[in-house]
Structure 1
Amino acid sequence: MLQIERHNNPVADMLIGLEYLQSNLWTALPGYIISFNVEAMTCSVQVTISMKVRDEHGNVSSVAIKPLVDCPVYFPSGGGATLTFPVKPGDECLVVFASRCIDSWWQSGGVQEQADLRMHDLSDGFALVGVRSQPRMLPGISTSSTQLRSDNGSAYIDLNPGSGKVRIVAPGGFEVVAPESEFSAKVTIKGLFTYLAGMVGFGTAFSNSTRTDETHTHSGVQTGGGTSGPVV
């Protein structure tokens, strides 16, 4: 017991009351994902900071907070587009607690009356997935570009505002599914180029610096049923 608590001190009583109020006011806590409901876009979270509890004998012990359930998961979105990512058990997150009950809003959207008068309650958490503790820090964070990347850094899309370039690194392959793709300028292919349904185009075509379009001719060829030599 503190010395100030041994006397009839109104300031001490007020401080004790404020401390009690603060102990029941929740703002944000780190945690990790237990499970993810992809249809409801909610998750269950285990908070990773335990509570200190004093029993009737004055003994203090550490108690884990019960798992938080039905926490809406935050995905960056706006204007009809959303960035989604897989949410897996064990992923770290930050749970932010609303100052008022979110039940009616979560169920119906729009502006709703409070279903309950609770405030800063553990029942009203939003999960922001991606907050990381030191043991789970990402390696090789780019300090000059924006990346959408795998955690190990082996695959990524890199947008460099300095050079104006976008680079795609995909060890497992890059696939485009679209009825038509358009490139506005030159295209350079450094590997084997394979096409399966023909190739149509306009302009001059070259192979090994030799024209291969309709203007290409062979010299030393006589009329007959034979074939010419290879293009040189």
Structure 2
Amino acid sequence: MTGKTPTLLDVVTQAAAATRRDIHTALPGRVVALNAAENTLTVEPMIKQILRNGETVDLPPLVDVPLQFPRGGGFVFTVPVGAGDEGLIVFCERCFDGWFASGNKSAPLDARLHDYSDGFFLPGISSRPRAIPDLYLDGASMQSVDGQTYIRLSPGKISIRGHIEHISNSRQTGNHEQIGDMSQTAGSSHSRGTVSAHSIVAGDIALESHTHGGVETGSGKTGKPGT
């Protein structure tokens, strides 16, 4: 300090400030590259470092950062993270290399604390320019950012927008109302109930207007359908 001899309090204060500068907790980050096979990323911190002389410098990209998604019970919810995506880098208290490599309890393999080397990446934390337009506030929404494709849950209702491809069997309890055409390209249709339709066409023959030629009128009735 200029003009006077530093006191013990000055020294302790400066030492505490220097220590705090090396305690890393969390920073916003942007994805540079993805290693899909390892579920790890190269991420650049988006907040610059301030040197003691006041100069600001870019922090170097962080490599082999584990990518994290909501997961549990044998299920996981993923999104297609790629270069340019924003998120939050969370730094652990201790070195987690041993645990990360084995999945088992491990003593810290390095004495470092709150270090840039021990970060996880949580996608989805975004800056103001990437705010979600037309934020849905009437329930829960899983959607594309532009809102053109979604699954939305509101009280007593589920709304889906977008093409649906269903692989496997399907079972429905309740009524089904369809607006639009239905096309079946393979297999057979079976019903144990009554099928009602405004018009039924088999081949090019419409049931309600179909007639048979060479038939004499009379009081008799035709027999039951035969095989």
Superposed pair shares fold, TM > 0.5: yes
Match of 2:111 among 117, 121, 132: 117
Alignment partner of 1:205 is 2:199: no
Partners of 1:40 and 1:169 in 2: CA distance: 33
Structure 2 residue runs of 5 or longer lacking an equivalent are 201-206, 217-227
Letter in 2 for 1:200: H
Partners of 1:218 and 1:153 in 2: CA distance: 45
The aligned residue for residue 74 of structure 1 is 68
The aligned residue for residue 181 of structure 1 is 170
Q: What TM-score, normalized to structure 1?
A: 0.83
CA 220–18 in structure 1, closer or farther in 2 if over 3 Å, else same: closer
Number of aligned residue pairs = 209
What SS is found at the alignment partner of 1:206? Answer: coil
Map 1:1-232; keep pairs closer than 5 Å. 1=1, 6-54=4-52, 59-160=53-154, 162=155, 164-170=156-162, 173-178=163-168, 180-196=169-185, 197-208=187-198
CA shift at 1:208, angstroms? 2.1
Using the TM superposition, name which of 193-202 and 27-36 deviates more: 193-202
Deviations 1:116-164 (A, max 9, x none): 111100000000011010011111111121111001111000111x2x2
Deviations 1:149-201 (A, max 9, x none): 001111000111x2x2111101xx211111x2101111111001112233111
Partners of 1:191 and 1:218 in 2: CA distance: 22
What SS is found at the alignment partner of 2:51? Answer: strand
The aligned residue for residue 230 of structure 1 is none
CA contact (8 A) 2:199 2:208 kept: no
Structure 1 residue runs of 5 or longer lacking an equivalent are 211-216, 227-232
